[in-house]
Chains A and B, each alone.
Chain A
């Protein structure tokens, strides 16, 4: 029998994240959004409480959570601030390839320092020439003696301005297209690494995003993750693990939008009664509640399957795609419920729409998710 109740342990993890989101993150969300400020002090506190290294195993000093428990936490954090949560999940995204294909020696060398003190990592896959088609990447890794020389440019890389290490995907053999993609761990301090200015974004303005240029950066072979040509598969396996938390992040934004809309509807009066008594508003709230619950349950199911050792490509794509579309639609309806006030910066819901938008784009745009969903789906027919 399926069981949708959380264990007491999961409830206490969720409560910790909830308290942190509501007392440490939410009070600063509007200010960081307005000023596009990266609140390092909040990320440091998250590190101290074990809310940063969610997927890092305990032997490296992390919290060592399964995907389901990560999703519980990510949803709560996103309820407090979507942008701050992006910093957390982009960091976990960068740890995942090291966990998947890193040798024991590499894990010890790269992950121990991350567990020991506050440091951020970044995952650098996207290039200016196109994020949806990583096989066409132009960043090259040329064999040179006992190592490689990297040259090229990555863009839209979350945490790039602060990260101490980057997981970089580069092509060791462009003639092989995606079969030539190889993954490397590159320290920020390496010669020839230049991080561009922080991008001015529509939402998630408490997170940082920038381009990274590699000008003949020497990388020893010992910092290559997995075999030459194994990078594309590694990136895809990584995203299979990290797509579901985007569903959780979107669910958190959607829940916040619903909560704001419902409480506002009880207070705001028009035509002599609270707008919650107008059926048009009730129908909005009912639709929003359905979307939120469906998003959460799809996310939970994808996470649960992956924790049981399944690949979960179909389910995680469905969860990410559905939850992000739901978050955008629910935030939109929340603004509509607030009327003109919803459009004002002074009220919290317009930020939710801007934040929800990103969840439809990053970690595989929803068009790509639908391609994946259809491909996986049709496999079961032909």
Chain B
């Protein structure tokens, strides 16, 4: 099976975020960009499908500026993806979701693709737009919030589940299609040290973005602010559950006045 996974460089949740001087972007000076939750799940799913279906190839694609985009592509190669394509945006330009979908669609259309996997949302803006837009641009159906994806070779069908508020739905679908994966139903693997070293030397195909895609995109953030620091929290220190309960009741009665 020809599998394509689309990934996005997202700020590491462990780095301290700050707004840039212009007030509408993130100060990326000290930010580390990584593969996050949904995308890690998508890569893991692609690798599991490849392992279960010998002869399959996994091609990872990302659209974005240097150096962060190269880093997530190399991280994906280190995990076991076979090929990588980078739609190289100018430094500092991170595409908005629709521009990203257009850039990815062009790159995906140019390579063999039967199954296209994405994370359900990006770990940073949580827009959840790319998979649907990508499917539309490729002219194939898309399925979102998917988990437990398997290929039934005998029936030539994908079999998977969708988690919805009403419960879990069971689906089957033919190829080609785009599938947006739910986060972390699988336990994504960690790249091994020799694979990390090897991934630095693997080629990454670079393609220029379509000239028609404006660098500023179709949507643009106007203001970016960090949530106000939380106040009013009270930490109760305790040694035993009894002590915790007693202290909590005291706080609820005397400070919060929830009880008389």
Given A8-B67, A12-B74, A12-B78, A63:B200 Cβ within 8 A: no
List the B residue with the shortest CB-CB distance to A24: B190
Report the contact-size class of chain B (Cβ under 8 Å from the partner): 10 to 19
Residues of B170-225 contacting chain A, CB below 8 A: 190-194, 196-197, 200
Complex-state Cα separation, A300 to B70, whole angstroms = 27
B108 within 8 A of A: no
Interface membership of B142, Cβ < 8 A: no
Looking at the complex, which of A48-56, A182-190, A226-234 is the stretch in contact with chain B?
A48-56
Q: Quick one: which of B71, B74, B192, B200 contacts A50, CB cutoff 8 A?
A: B192
Contact A9–B190 (Cβ < 8 Å): no
Interface residues of A, count at CB 8 A: 14
Instruction: Say whether A58 faces chain B, with CB atoms less than 8 Å apart.
Output: yes
Question: Does A50 lie within 8 Å of B194, measured CB to CB?
Answer: yes
Distance between B243 CB and nearest chain A CB, rounded to angstroms: 15
CB contact under 8 A between A63 and B67, given known A8-B200, A12-B74: no
A19 touches B190 (CB 8 A): yes
Give the distance in Å from the alpha carbon of A48 to the alpha carbon of B193 in the complex.
Answer: 9
For residue B75, CB closer than 8 A to chain A, the reply is: yes
Tell me the bound Cα distance from A8 to B34 in angstroms.
13
In the complex, the chain B residue whose C-beta lies closest to that of A73 is B193
Chain B at the A interface: mostly helix, strand, loop or mixed?
helix
Compute how far the CA of A48 lies from the CA of B192 in the bound complex, rounded to whole angstroms. 7
Residues of chain A contacted by B197 (CB below 8 angstroms): 9, 13, 63
Determine if A305 is an interface residue (Cβ-Cβ < 8 Å): no
Query: What is the minimal beta-carbon distance from B2 to any residue of chain A, in angstroms?
Result: 27
Q: Which A residue's beta carbon lies closest to that of B71?
A: A8
Number of A-B pairs whose CB atoms are under 8 Å? Answer: 36
Q: How far is the CA of A9 from the CA of B78 in the complex (A)?
A: 11
Instruction: Tell me which residues across on chain B come within 8 A of A51, comparing CB atoms.
Output: 193
**A16 contacts B194, CB within 8 Å?**
no
Chain A residue numbers with a CB within 8 Å of B71 are 8, 12
A49 partner, pick from B67, B74, B192, beta carbons under 8 A: B192
Q: With A and B bound together, what is the CA distance between A13 and B200 in angstroms?
A: 11
- Give bound CA distance, A214 to B177, whole Å: 67
**B74 proximity list for chain A (CB < 8 A):** 8, 12
Question: For residue A16, which residues in chain B have a CB less than 8 angstroms away from its CB?
Answer: 190-191, 193, 196
Shortest distance between the CB of B242 and any CB in chain A (Å): 18
1/0 per residue A6-21: CB within 8 Å of B?
A: 0011001100100110
Asked whether A63 lies within 8 Å of B194 as measured between CB atoms, the reply is: yes
Q: A13 near B196 (CB under 8 angstroms)?
A: yes
Q: Which residues of A contact B191 (CB under 8 A)?
A: 16
A13 cross-chain contacts in B, Cβ below 8 A: 193, 196-197
Interface residues of A in 22-75 (CB under 8 A from B): 48-51, 58, 63-64
Q: For B190, what are the chain A residues with a Cβ–Cβ distance below 8 Å?
A: 16, 19-20, 49
For the complex, what is the distance from the CA of A140 to the CA of B71, rounded to whole Å?
55
Which chain B residue shows the least CB distance to A19?
Answer: B190
Complex CA distance for A16 and B193, rounded to whole angstroms = 7
Please indicate the chain A residues that have their CB under 8 angstroms from the CB of B193 in the complex: 13, 16, 49-51, 63
Complex formed: what's the CA distance from A48 to B194 in Å?
Answer: 10
- 3 closest residue pairs by CB, A with B: A50-B193, A9-B200, A63-B193
Could you list which residues of chain B lie within 8 angstroms of chain A, going by C-beta atoms? 67, 70-71, 74-75, 78, 190-194, 196-197, 200
Binding site for B on A (CB under 8 A): 8-9, 12-13, 16, 19-20, 48-51, 58, 63-64
Can you list 24 A-B contacts (CB < 8 A)? A8-B67, A8-B70, A8-B74, A9-B196, A9-B197, A9-B200, A12-B74, A12-B75, A12-B200, A13-B193, A13-B197, A16-B190, A16-B193, A16-B196, A19-B190, A49-B192, A50-B192, A50-B193, A51-B193, A58-B194, A63-B193, A63-B194, A63-B197, A64-B194
| Further contacts, 11 of them, CB under 8 A, given A9-B197, A64-B194 | A8-B71, A12-B74, A12-B78, A12-B200, A13-B196, A13-B197, A20-B190, A49-B192, A50-B192, A50-B193, A63-B193
